[in-house]
Structure formats: C-alpha cells, structure tokens
Structure 1
Amino acid sequence: MDTQAGQDARRRPAEAGVTQVGDDAWTDGNAPESRLTANEVAHSWAGRAFTDERLDVAGQLGLAFGLLDLLDDYWVTCEIRFADRGPGGPLPSGVLWDGYRRRLEAPEAADAVTYSLWADWFEDRDTCEAAFAEVLGRDAGRLHTDSPQPLLRRARRVLECSGPVPWAVKESAYAVAARLPALFEGLLGSHRDVYGDLDPSAALTAGHSAAR
C-alpha cells in the first residue's frame, strides 16, 4: 500500500537472502531448496522491524505495515501490538491508527487487520475504547448513504468485528449504522459474535428507529 514501506519490507528480508517465489512461498538463501510460508517469514521478520536502528519509531512502524501488506499475515499485527504495549511503547498513535484505517478502507481484503481488532484490540478492556474510537467511533457522524465508499467499507469491516467492544462504547456508532442499509449487515455480524456485547433493549430501539 505504501510504496516506500513496501519496497523496504521486501528489501530487508532480501538482504538476508529471503525472497518470494510464489503467492505464499518464500525461499531462504541459506537453504535454497526449502520453502517458507508467509507466516514463517512473519515470525522471523516482523519483530525485527522494531529493532531496525536505521529508522525512527514511526519508520519502524511503517516498515511493519509494509510487511503486513507484503505477507498479509496476522502475526505481523501481533508484533505491532507487542511493540505498542511493550516497554518501548506506546507507538505513535497517529501513525498506528492511520495504518489501520487505510487498510480497512482499501479494496483489498483486510482479514489480518480485522482479526487483529477483534481478537486483540477490541477484546482487551484496556484498549477497546481507544481502538474503536480511532477506527470508527470518531467518524460515525460522517456516515451517510452517500458517504465515500472507502469510509463505508471501513465502517462495515469494523462493525463486523466489533462484537467484543462494550455496548456503552459502540452504542452511538451502532445507532447511526442501523439507519444505513449498507452497514446493517455488519451489525448483524457483531450481534452473532460469540463474544458480542449488546444491550438488547437499546439495540431493539435502534432497530425500530431504523425501520421507520
């Protein structure tokens, strides 16, 4: 997505002889006949992004996002979170959440990003409120039937994985989304979430309002 970050993300492993030879196949220069999966490369390289002394912290985070685009693997998001929550954190908030928003808005699949939100940022009561605000809550007032498609795409993806977010945090955004047919399916996905947090009476009121 970010051309420079993507080039750096590919170049760093290549400097050590790790190159891509297929959609989900990589080879290690030290063992050219063996094949690595994207997940194996992510485990080896994603954490290294945050130890690259050639870059400042924002640059390291950009490199990590470049690796995420390159590998499309959830483990890269784990390393981003480890860096944010670890002793060297927090990471620059603007860069972190802009990286998430951009990937949620992109036409390409964003499964690693949405799973990261659902399993990590939204399930953690220490981070769920800030994370939801950054990826959707603060923009809920901008949601309309004629909103730009990237914004609607981001909203739909966030709603679909927002089940664990406490009801009090997401209620106002849900009330807006319930009025928009393009986003209502995302609300259903959240309701069906095994870890979903929903206030039945408030949700029913929002649903009735949307139906009128």
Structure 2
Amino acid sequence: MERQVEEAARRWLADQGVSQVRDGWVSDEEPDVLLTANQVAHYWAGDVFAEDLHAADQVRLAFGLLDLLDEYWVTCEIRFANESAEAPLPADVLWDGYRQRLEAGREAEAVTYSLWVDWFEDHGTSATAFAEVLGNDIDRVVAERSEAPLRRARRVLECSGPVRWTVKELTYRTAMGLPDLHSAVFHGLLASFHDVYGDLEPAAARALLDQLDLPTNTQHLAELRHVLAAGYENHFRSPGAWDDAVRSCS
C-alpha cells in the first residue's frame, strides 16, 4: 500500500514538473537548480490540499509524499490542512496514515517527530492523537504480539513524554504486560521527566519503573528512580534535580 501511494505521489510531482535525479530533485522551471527533498516538501506539499480531490484522497497523496520525501515538513502541511477553515481532515484516513507508517519497517523519524512536537505537545490534540496511534488498541497489541503493531507501540511510547499522565498511564500499565515493551515504557517515562512539556505523576511513575524488567546497567535508570523517589515531576520545573541525582548515583 505504501509503495502504491508513494508512486502516486511521484506521478503527482511529475505533473507539477518536478522529478527526481541522481543527487536530488529538479523542476521544469529551473532544470539546472538542484533541489533537496526538504525544499520539494516546502515548495509543493501544501499544494496537495488544493487539488480537486476528495479530502481522503488528498490525505493519502500527502502521505505518499511523506513516504517519497521522508521530510517532517510534509506532516506540518497535513496538520495545517486539518486545522484549516474548510474542515478537519477525515480522521480515519489521517490516523490510519500515521499508524501504517509507525508499523512500517523503514525509519519513521519524521512521523514520530511529528507526533512528539505537534500532536503530543499540544494538549488540545494530544489525547486524541495518543488514543488513535496506540491507546485505543494497546490491549490487542499486547495480546496478539504481532511484529508490526509492536513496532508502532515502541515508537509511540518512546515519544509520548508530552502526553498528559492521566491520558497515557493506563496505556503504560497495559504495555508493561509484555516484557518486549518494557524498554519502550522506560524511555517513555524518561521522556516524561526530561521533555519541556513532559508530564508524569512521580509516585505512580516510580511504581511503574520498579516493575520494569530492565538490565541493571540501563543508562539513566538509577537517576530516574532517584528523582521520582524525591517527588520531582519535570526536569525543567526542578532545575538541578537531575544533576543531584547524577552525583548521588555515581
């Protein structure tokens, strides 16, 4: 499916006079000017949502551009379109696009970065976004233990720091039922403390941390346990707490 939408995006770019060459991209208007994938994303990705297509097809085409270009800016244009005055994008197609790419074997940095800094840091969208990409089906993911959904779970947990604790706690607890996800839960807890917008409840987070089956030499495990035991909620709201923990645990 991803290959099909990627090829559709390539054809759409060709219709705009943009084609891929050995070292980048070129446009018919300036064939001697080499463009990066990031420039292509900035110049053309937004135009997808001006096409005379059903909104669902616009979203699929935009995700095809994301597959083709692997640039975060494409996800920005998707969100801009979702927040436009026209109407929100079809939620089923939007979130299915995220889930598919979170499950794919290829790198998903643009997708996870988009979740982290756009959807999860915004408390107006984080609950819905987190539920759609993992919270709604974490029970099934843990029960079935299929490779692709587990890959999605790991990626979401690791970038879930900004999601409100009340939204993600149950998902964290459920994920702990599968040892394969323990490392991802740990990184989620770590990000919940260190992220500027990170959110956790120290006592509850410490209780989860103590139940994780992790190597004793896991980097930052002792320091995180120390700050949580001391009741600290966030690195930036408690300057110096982490440094104190590093000194205490060294």
Q: Same fold (TM over 0.5)?
A: yes
- Gap runs ≥5 in structure 2: 214-250
The alpha carbon displacement at 1:200 in A equals 1.7
Q: Which residue of 1 aligns with 2:106?
A: 108
1:121 to partner: Cα distance: 0.3
What one-letter code is carried by the residue in structure 2 that aligns with 1:13?
A: L
Unaligned runs of 5+ residues in structure 1 are: none
Within 5 A, what are the aligned runs for 1:12-27? 12-22=12-22, 25-27=24-26
- Computing the radius of gyration from Cα coordinates, the structure with the larger value is 2
Q: How far 1:18 sits from its partner (Å)? A: 1.1
Partner of 1:124: 122
- TM-score calculated relative to the size of structure 2: 0.79
For 1:131-170, what aligned pairs fall within 5 Å after superposition? 131-144=129-142, 147-170=145-168
1:121 is matched by which residue type in structure 2?
W
Write out per-residue CA displacement over residues 47-101 of structure 1, whole angstroms, 9 at most, x where no aligned residue: 0110001x11111111101100000000000000001111122100000000000
Whether the 8 Å contact between 2:186 and 2:212 is mirrored in structure 1 is no
Q: Deviations over 1:137-172 (max 9, x none)?
A: 011112337510011000000001000000000000
1:30 partnered with 2:29: yes
SS of the aligned residue for 2:161 comes to coil
State how 1:89-100 maps to structure 2 within 5 Å. 89-100=87-98
SS in 2 for 1:26: strand
Contact kept? 1:105, 1:150, Cα under 8 Å: yes
SS at match of 2:25: strand
TM-score in terms of structure 1 length = 0.92
Q: 2: distance between equivalents of 1:144 and 1:131?
A: 19
Greater RCO (CA < 8 Å, at least 6 residues apart) = 1
Looking at structure 1, the residues matched to 167 and 161 of structure 2 have their Cα atoms a distance apart, in angstroms, of: 11
State how far apart, in whole Å, the 1-side matches of 2:118 and 2:79 are: 8
Q: Could you tell me which amino acid in structure 1 is paired with residue 88 of structure 2?
A: P
CA–CA separation in structure 1 for the residues paired with 2:180 and 2:144: 10
Return the alpha-carbon distance in structure 1 between the equivalents of residues 13 and 212 of structure 2.
51
The number of residue pairs the alignment matches comes to 209
